[in-house]
Amino acid sequence: MQTRRFAQVDVFTAMALRGNPLAVVIDGEGLSDAAMAAFARWTNLSETTFILPPTDAAADYRVRIFTPGGELPFAGHPTLGTAHCWLANGGVPKTKGMLVQECGIGLVRVKRQADRNKERLAFAAPALRRSGPVEPELHAQVLRSLRLSAEDVLDVQWVDNGPAWMAARLKSASAVLDLKPDFVAMQGLKLGVVGAYPSGSPQQFEVRAFVPDLGVPEDAVTGSLNAGLALWLQGAGLAPAKYIAAQGAALSRAGRVHVQREGDEVWVGGDVTPMIEGVVRL
Q: What is the pLDDT of residues 203-220, one digit of tens each?
A: 999 999 999 999 999 999
CA 202 to chain centre: 21
The DSSP secondary-structure symbol of 128 reads P
d(CA 272, CA 9): 7
Residue 32 has pLDDT above 80, yes or no: yes
Class assignment of domain 130-263?
Answer: alpha beta
Sign of CA pseudo-dihedral 29, 34, 35, 38:
positive
Q: What is the pLDDT of residue 262?
A: 96
CATH number belonging to the domain at 3-124+269-281, selected among 3.40.50.2300, 3.20.20.210, 3.10.310.10, 2.60.120.310: 3.10.310.10
Cβ-count burial of 165 within 10 angstroms (0-12 exposed, 13-18 middle, 19+ buried)?
buried
Task: Name the band, by pLDDT with cuts 50, 70 and 90, for residue 112.
Answer: confident
Q: Where in the chain is the domain with CATH 3.10.310.10?
A: 3-124+269-281, 130-263
Q: What is the pLDDT of residue 117?
A: 67
Q: How many CB atoms lie within 10 A of CB 238?
A: 15
